[in-house]
Amino acid sequence: MSHVDIRFADKNSERYMLARRIYKVIEDLENEYLYPDSETLGGFKFRDGQYKFSQIDEGEWTDFDSENDYWGYREDYAWFRHSFTVPERFAGRPVVYQLTPSASGPWNRSNPQFIMYFNGELRQGGDSNHSEIRLLDCAKGGEEFDCCLNAYSDAWEFKGKLRMGARLKVVDDLVNRLIFDLRTPLKVASLYNADDLPRIDIVKALNDAVNLIDFNTSDYDTFAASAEAAIDLLDSEIYSKDAMDATACCIGHTHIDVAWLWRLRQTREKAGRSFATVLKLMEEYPEYKFMSSQAQLYAFVKEDYPEVYEGIKKMIAAGRWEVEGSMWVESDTNVTSGESLVRQFLVGKRFFKDEFGVDNKIMWLPDVFGYSAALPQIMKKAGINYFMTTKISWNEFNKVPYDTFMWKGIDGTEILSHFSPSTDCFDEGDSWQTTYNAYLNPEHILGGWHRYSQKDLNREYLCTFGHGDGGGGPTRDMLEMGRRMEKGIPGCPKVKQEFAIDFYRDLEKDVKGSRRLPKWAGELYLEFHRGTLTSQGRNKRYNRKSELLYHDMETICAVADSNGIASYPQQLINDGWKIILLNQFHDIIPGSSIKEVYEDSKEQYEKLISEGKAEIAETLGKIVCTPDGNALTVFNTFGAERDDVVITDMPAAEHFSIVDADGNVMPCQKSADGRLVFFAKGVPAKGYKTFSIIHGGEQGENTVKVENKTIDNRFFTVRFDRDMNIASLIHKATGRAVAPEGEVLNKIYAFDDRPFNHEAWDIKAYFDQKYTEINDVSAVDVTESGPVRTVIKVTRKFLSSTIEQSFIFYADLPRIDIDYTVDWKEKKILLKADFPVDVNTTQATYDIQFGNYKRPTHRNTLWDFAQFEVVGHKWVDLSDNSFGLSVLNDCKYGHDIKDGHIRTSLLRCAVNPNSEQDREIHHFTYSLYPHAGSVDTSDVVSQGYSLNLPLYCVSGKAAHSSYSLVSTDKDNIIIETVKKAEDSSDTVIRAYETWNKTTDCVYTFDRVPKSVYVCNLLEENEEQLEVNGSTVALRFKPFEIKTVKVTF
């Protein structure tokens, strides 16, 4: 049971002495009366390892001495079993079974944990907050139990060894009721000052009640009558009085990190244990309501614990268990792509609808590290009406001024949002942090009301209560105190247990049309955990590559399927997306988990990438249906026609040329590793084009000139300094130098990265106080030179690490790619590349999901200063209205752009919780794209996609020499996704407007469609479009995402 904090400031007062007396009475009731009889249990058998319960009778069991034997190491699994009989003297009374895994350290949330089976039935989870299970409401005596305990020891936070023990105890329900009737209001009184009426009245009533308890009698009936008298007095003097005119709308919850300090396989068990515990407590507390998000957890439980899953379905049907949250997992929203966020909702909502018949309406993200400005539109178009979080309260410098407000996204969409304000009353003066793991006790209920910012708007707030991460959710203590607060206690908000969706619907009715309802426009930037944009670079690369690979596979397979060439691999795609979505959980993709999590993740990514590449190769082989050794078909998965470099898997022959159907010669050459590289012009959007190989022909002229440390092509003149940094980059079309006079581009800095806590999570504002310039060049080599490109490889040494930079200068592409291979061996260093830009602007532009976002480049306010590391996806840009520089990338997300410098974070190597983080070989590419005019008149969006979506090349011919499934006539309309519909043979096409302007455009299809519907992100039809031949006209609002469903 939880203790009562006697934290009165006036410790010499009479009322303080009375409070101490009341506390002592509660303590005596607990120690002497609550458990009037007990018996120690032994006879344990032990079996090491992890097995299913169905295998319990297989293998060898050994005796386990509760006094002398130990178990429990890092990721240690074991089974215990023993049999016992309820003593005859327990007859007529409730009986509980208590786990006592005594240890050389505290029993914490991760170590140990149990799944408890009695007589073959899974009854409850066991953890530090749920060590007891109520076996019998009224024992007869002589009942026999066979107990099997599936045990797990994490040992991440706890390094000792464990023993194993258990007790059988009689519990006195009357005493339990009296204890909580006393304890709960005493907690309320402790939250008030000496002269506050709630404290004065409560202490008087409690003192009067304890005066009625007869501790001197040896007759139980006499004692029980006195206890009943005390309870009756408390009912009349406390619980019948008016509570505060405020209400905490409470829902039981257990926030389970899908991986963090434990692997996925342990998460499966945490979910099973926690959900089993919830079901057991629901048997005992009929008012108890519980909510859990994350469809993935339910899928795990369905597979691993079918009996628990059936229990959940029964509680859902009974109106006791709420399935909400909408997403497959509570994903990161910084690094994940727009399409990934769509799939989180599409896959998550479909699961909840198919399994439970529930249409989710809340985006439930209590614990992610920032919230993209693209989210409101994505939510609304996925049928989501409400948003919930608490993590934003962890801001380092600035408190977000609202808890209930309308959140406005980049396109103008607004979503009703509520931040659960629960916090401990005693902590509220030290911090504005709130929690999603609240305790259902007066400290958190009153603390939440004090913390709530919109008291002038409404009188209710949301409280999610329960232990997370394997802590099993709500406890009996919480539910008991909840009962008392639901009845009402003077000086405390009333409690009501209700579903989160009911809270939000009532909130919407209360605030709709109110002039007091505030609005927040743009991203909800978390001033904390900024390092998660960079930590675990390998995993972030896998994420980007997987997202784009499945984008490509869907496009290619949709082309094949809609043309009757090959069936669509729906199951393979669905399974792959679920793995991508799973690994976007907010402690996996941010890089804040233990080493073993990334070992598992690497294995999953490599499998889905291998399967995806194989499917693409097979499907392209069917599209390119005519074998021809002198033909090459190039496939473009981007939504616009492209002129781009093709890197084939074919060996380059001597003396050949490549031409298109009109006889135009394409520049070509041999790569450093002997492969054919050529420049393909006019490859159609979402389609392909066939080229011919002419033996003995010309390959084109080499127009990239290298002289000493100067490189010249038709776009740029570049001069390197002695350290092979770019001393000068002249953009020929404008005559502008990119960098200010005397500054160099692409200098690599190694910053001393030592956050004072949360190593893998945090970069602190002082990170740039100490740094090293990486200038040690050990080799410079020209590795390629030809009509397509020239490649210069620079090798650098830094401490024990090696950095290889390959500068790629193209004859026909207006950008410079810098390809990296880094063998990194250092610790506690943040690696950044720096690009000073000679422009006049106070804003930088960042690629985000389905659009872009502008942030200040100055530090005028504390809000500006706090954003010293921010997210950008495929590109970032610093421009004025005449000129600018975009830095593109293929897998990096962390940037800081201040005072005319773009700095992109490349690697960071924290040592906690993974001591080996990022100490491995890394591959990544970023590109320099100088351009005339402002960012929105440049070609940066297409260039970003070009870098990230390579062209595919297959030997042979397709049915057409040139083909496009769909294209648009406007450059600012980006056709992002083409896929087969989830529930039909229709083709789904998703696009967005990228430069914040209303745009009329036309889609052109490869044939006349039978029908075209605008649909939402869940692929539900909303509006039929008029078809004009093979085209349809659409209007996009600024930054609008628009999805159409086409029947061919």
pLDDT tens, position by position, 597-649: 999 999 999 999 999 999 999 999 999 999 999 999 999 999 999 999 999 99
Q: What's the domain range around 288?
A: 246-528
- Predicted confidence (pLDDT) at residue 2 exceeds the cutoff of 60: no
- Residue 967 has a CB neighbour count (10 Å cut-off) of 19
- DSSP element (H, E) containing 1003: strand 999-1005
- What is the value of pTM for the model shown? 0.96
- Among 637, 461, 430, 651, smallest CA distance to 547 is for 637
156 plus 181 within the same structural domain: no
Please give the pLDDT value at position 27: 96
Please give the pLDDT value at position 662: 93
Please give the pLDDT value at position 153: 87
Q: What is the mean pLDDT of the chain?
A: 95
- Among 1004, 834, 817, smallest CA distance to 904 is for 834
- Predicted confidence (pLDDT) at residue 159 exceeds the cutoff of 80: no
Residue ranges with strand state E in 799-957 = 801-810, 816-823, 829-836, 843-848, 851-856, 870-871, 875-879, 883-889, 894-898, 901-908, 921-932, 952-955
- Predicted confidence (pLDDT) at residue 107 exceeds the cutoff of 80: no
Give me the mean pLDDT over the 463-480 stretch. 95
159 plus 235 within the same structural domain: no
Give me the mean pLDDT over the 717-723 stretch. 97
CA distances from 526 to 338, 439, 440, 852, 901 (A): 19, 24, 27, 18, 22
Give CA–CA dist 580/575, Å, rounded: 9
- Predicted confidence (pLDDT) at residue 4 exceeds the cutoff of 60: no
990 in any annotated domain? yes
706 in any annotated domain? no
pLDDT tens, position by position, 179-224: 999 999 999 999 998 888 999 999 999 999 999 999 999 999 999 9
- Residue 930 has a CB neighbour count (10 Å cut-off) of 26
477 plus 387 within the same structural domain: yes
841 plus 986 within the same structural domain: no
CA distances from 362 to 300, 330, 381, 466, 790 (A): 22, 12, 13, 19, 52
| Of the residues 115, 140, 171, the one at which a domain ends | 171
CA distances from 868 to 897, 904, 906 (A): 8, 12, 15
859 plus 845 within the same structural domain: yes
For every residue of 593-615, DSSP letters joined together read S-HHHHHHHHHHHHHHHHHHHHH
305 plus 443 within the same structural domain: yes
260 plus 329 within the same structural domain: yes
CB 273 within 8 A of CB 471: no
DSSP state of 575: H
Which one-letter amino acid corresponds to residue 352?
A: F
Q: How far apart are the first and last CA of the chain?
A: 65
Number of separate domains in the chain:
6
User: CATH number, domain at 1017?
Assistant: 2.60.40.1180
Please report which confidence band the pLDDT of residue 80 belongs to, taking 50, 70 and 90 as the band edges: very high
91 plus 79 within the same structural domain: yes
180 plus 160 within the same structural domain: no
788 in any annotated domain? yes
Residue % of the chain over a pLDDT of 70:
97
User: CATH number, domain at 541?
Assistant: 1.20.1270.50
Quick one: three-class SS letters along 48-96?
ECCCCHHHCCCCCCEEECCCCCCECCCCEEEEEEEEEECCHHHCCCCEE
- Nearest-5° Cα angle at 294, 288 to 296: 120
781 in any annotated domain? yes
Structure-token pair, residue 623: 């599209």
- How far is residue 831 CA from its own chain's centroid? 24
Please give the pLDDT value at position 110: 61
- DSSP element (H, E) containing 865: helix 862-866
293 in any annotated domain? yes
pLDDT tens, position by position, 928-957: 999 999 999 999 999 999 999 999 999 999
- Among 645, 656, 628, 634, smallest CA distance to 954 is for 634
423 in any annotated domain? yes
388 plus 485 within the same structural domain: yes
727 in any annotated domain? no
Helix (H, G, I), strand (E, B), or coil: what is residue 247?
A: strand
- Predicted confidence (pLDDT) at residue 913 exceeds the cutoff of 80: yes
Please give the pLDDT value at position 6: 58
pLDDT tens, position by position, 812-831: 999 999 999 999 999 999 99
356 in any annotated domain? yes
Give CA–CA dist 766/794, Å, rounded: 31
| Of the residues 591, 623, 655, the one at which a domain ends | 623
Give me the mean pLDDT over the 534-558 stretch. 99
pLDDT tens, position by position, 39-71: 999 999 999 998 899 998 888 999 999 988 988
821 plus 805 within the same structural domain: yes
563 plus 474 within the same structural domain: no
Give me the mean pLDDT over the 892-903 stretch. 98
CA distances from 1002 to 548, 643, 685, 894, 946 (A): 25, 22, 14, 36, 23
Give CA–CA dist 574/596, Å, rounded: 25
The owner of tokens 């500006």 is: 864
User: CATH number, domain at 787?
Assistant: 2.70.98.30
Residue ranges with strand state E in 516-659 = 519-521, 631-636, 642-651, 656-659
| Of the residues 879, 909, 933, the one at which a domain ends | 933
